[in-house]
Every structure is written in structure tokens, then in C-alpha cells.
């Protein structure tokens, strides 16, 4: 599951200021997270700064290749009138639109949508958990060699800032990880949690088992 953040405004403006812009917003996962208000404020600013917003489309699930292909045909007229496309979605939406426009333009040269420049309006951030369901603070690193057997069901890869497999680094203070994030966001030391958990279930012996190594070829 993914969340997005508006790209720095200066970056965006440096690309599109003063141009004819086609705006595409994806509200499909907006139920998860899309900075709608920030985007609308930015668009307002953009409009006031002499950039022509040819069309501002609010769509959903741009990641769905089939729908997006259908819809791009519906927008053909406006696309023809614009020079740049800014897409407010996760990285997947941008890739899908870009690929479709590229296909259309390589098939037919009369096509209205040749050589459009596409800019992502958002940066996509990784969100805990898989897609679909509401995120929890559980996370899976999809390492391909689940270590949860050794760690009382607490993932050392995602609950330890260094993804250590064989025990704590010694950097934790009062149970908190040494990686104290800005604004007081501090994560608990994953290995302390693992130790306590194994202690409660009487399986501290697991910790003495073989040294564990990541196999990155599985990633």
C-alpha cells in the first residue's frame, strides 16, 4: 500500500510554469492517502501564476491499465491542447499513463498525444503492510526468507532500523532505537521486543541457534 506526498513546489514549477498543463489526479487510493488539499492549493497557485490548466481530471485507479487506456481516449481533445502532463498519483499511475501515451504515439503519428512530457506531482512513500487493507504498524520486507520463526513473530527486518538478524546492535537506550526520527518519532528497539517475547514464551534458546544471514538473491 502506498502513500504520496506533494513534490517540492519549486521542482514542479521549474518544469511546468507558464506552460499549458494537463492535470491528472488519481483518487483511487485517496482513501489511503493523497494530499488532496495541498494539490488543490498548488493548482490554484499555478493557475494564478499564468500557467494554463487545460484540464484538471480527477480519475481513479490509474494503475488499472485497461481503464486508463479507455479514458485517455476520452481526454484526447484536451491532451492535444496541452504541452505537459502532471500526474498526482503514486509512481504506478505515472508509469501506466506514460506507457499508454507512448504506445499511442508510436502506433500513429497523427495521434493527438505525441511527445508529451510527463511529470509526477507526488513522491510515493512506502507504507507499512500490503495493499488493500488498512495499514497497521506491522510490516513485511518481503525478504523471501521469513525469519519470524526465530524472533517470536516480530520481524527483525522491519522492526529494527538496521534490519539486524542476530541480535541487537547495542544502540538502544531505554528500549528505544538509536534512530530517533525528527519530531520526536522514536521507534522501539525491535530486538528488545523480540527478546522479551521469546522470554515470555520460554524460547530464549532460539536465540542461540545458528548465525543467520540474509540471502539478497531472494529479494
Partner 1 sequence: MIDYSKFVLKPKEEIILQLKDVDKIFLIGCNKCFKEFKQFGEEEKECVELIKMLRENGKKVLGCADIDFLCNRIITEKIIGKRKELNQADCILVNSCGIGVQTIAELTEGTIPSKPVFTAADSIPQGGQHCLSLYDEEGIHFRCAACGQCFLGLTAGICPIVNCAKELVNGPCGGAKNGKCEIASAIGQVAGATGKDKDCAWEKIYQRLNLLSSEQRVASSETVIRDYTKPSLKTKNVITDLVREKRFEGFYGGVYPLEKKEFTSQKAIKIIPEHKQVVIPLLQHTGCPAEPLVKSGDKVFVGHKIGQSKGFISANIHSSISGKVIAVEPRSHPVCPDKILSVIIENDGKNQLSPEIKSKPALENLSPEEIREIVHEAGIVGLGGAMFPTQVKLCPPKDKKIDTFILNGAECEPYLTADERVMIEKTEDIIFGMKALMKVLNVGKGYIAIEENKPEAIAKLRAKSEENIEVVVVKTKYPQGAERMLIKRILQREVPLGGLPLDVGVVVNNVSTAVAVAEAIKTGLPLIKRVITVTGEKIKDPQNLEVKIGTSFKDLIDYCGGVIDGEMEQGTCLLKMGGPMMGIVQKDFNVPVIKGTTGILVTSPSDIEFTLLRACIKCGRCLDVCPMELNPSNLGLYAEKENWEKMHSEGVLNCIECGSCNYICPSKRSLVEVFKLAKKEICAKLVKNPQSSE
Partner 2 sequence: MELKELFAKGKFVVTSEVGPPKGWQIEKTLEEAEILRGKVDAINVTDNQSSVMRFGALATCHFLKDRGFEPVFQITCRDRNRLALQSDILNAAAFGIENLLLLTGDHPLLGDHKDAKPVFDLDSVSLIHTVKKLEDGSDLAGNKLEGEPPKFCLGAVVSPCAEPLEPQLFKMEKKIKAGAEFFQTQAVYEVDKFVKFMEKVKNFGIPIMAGIVILKSVGMAKYMNENVAGVFVPDNLIEELKKDKEKTKSGQTGIEIAARLIKELKPYCQGIHLMPLGWNDKVPAILSQAGLI
Site for partner 1 in 183-202 (CB under 8 A): 183, 185, 187, 197, 200-201
Show contacts with partner 1 in window 61-90 (CB under 8 A). 61, 63-65, 67, 70-71, 74, 90
Q: Would you say the C-alpha torsion 156, 161, 164, 169 has a positive or negative sign? A: negative
- Closer residue to partner 1, CB minimum distance, 23 or 63: 63
Among 138, 171, 199, 204, binds partner 1 (CB under 8 A): 138
**Neighbouring-strand partners of residue 2:** 126
Among 96, 95, 91, CA closest to 71? 96
Show contacts with partner 2 in window 159-218 (CB under 8 A). 213-218
Quick check: 6 binds partner 1 (CB under 8 A)? Answer: no
Q: How far is the CB of 158 from partner 1 (least distance, A)?
A: 8
Among 144, 109, 125, 134, CA closest to 218? 144
- Closer residue to partner 1, CB minimum distance, 53 or 141: 141
Show contacts with partner 1 in window 162-181 (CB under 8 A). 179, 181
Let me know if 9 is exposed, middle or buried by CB neighbors in 10 A (0-12, 13-18, 19+): middle
Give me the phi and psi of 162, to 5 degrees please. Answer: -100, 5
2, 125 contact by CB (below 8 A): yes
Binding site for partner 2 (CB under 8 A): 213-218
Amino acid at each position: 500500500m502506498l502513500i504520496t506526498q506533494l513534490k517540492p513546489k519549486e521542482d514542479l514549477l521549474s518544469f511546468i510554469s507558464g506552460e499549458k498543463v494537463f492535470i491528472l489526479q488519481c483518487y483511487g487510493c485517496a482513501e489511503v492517502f493523497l494530499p488532496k488539499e495541498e494539490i488543490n492549493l498548488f493548482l490554484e497557485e499555478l493557475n494564478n501564476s499564468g500557467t494554463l490548466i487545460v484540464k484538471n481530471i480527477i480519475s481513479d485507479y490509474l494503475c488499472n491499465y485497461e481503464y486508463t487506456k479507455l479514458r485517455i481516449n476520452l481526454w484526447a481533445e484536451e491532451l492535444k491542447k496541452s504541452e505537459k502532463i502532471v500526474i498526482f498519483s503514486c509512481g504506478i499511475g505515472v508509469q501506466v499513463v506514460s506507457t499508454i501515451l507512448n504506445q499511442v504515439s508510436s502506433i500513429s503519428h497523427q495521434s493527438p498525444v505525441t511527445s508529451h512530457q510527463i511529470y509526477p506531482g507526488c513522491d510515493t512513500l512506502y507504507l507499512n503492510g500490503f495493499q488493500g487493507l488498512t495499514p497497521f504498524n506491522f510490516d513485511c520486507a518481503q525478504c523471501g526468507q521469513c525469519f519470524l520463526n526465530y524472533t517470536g513473530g516480530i520481524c527483525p527486518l522491519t522492526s529494527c532500523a538496521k534490519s539486524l538478524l542476530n541480535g541487537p546492535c547495542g544502540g538502544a537506550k531505554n528500549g528505544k532505537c538509536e534512530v530517533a526520527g525528527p519530531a520526536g518519532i522514536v521507534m522501539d528497539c525491535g530486538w528488545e521486543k523480540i527478546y522479551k517475547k521469546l522470554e515470555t514464551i520460554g524460547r530464549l534458546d532460539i536465540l542461540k541457534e545458528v548465525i543467520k544471514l540474509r540471502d539478497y538473491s531472494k529479494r
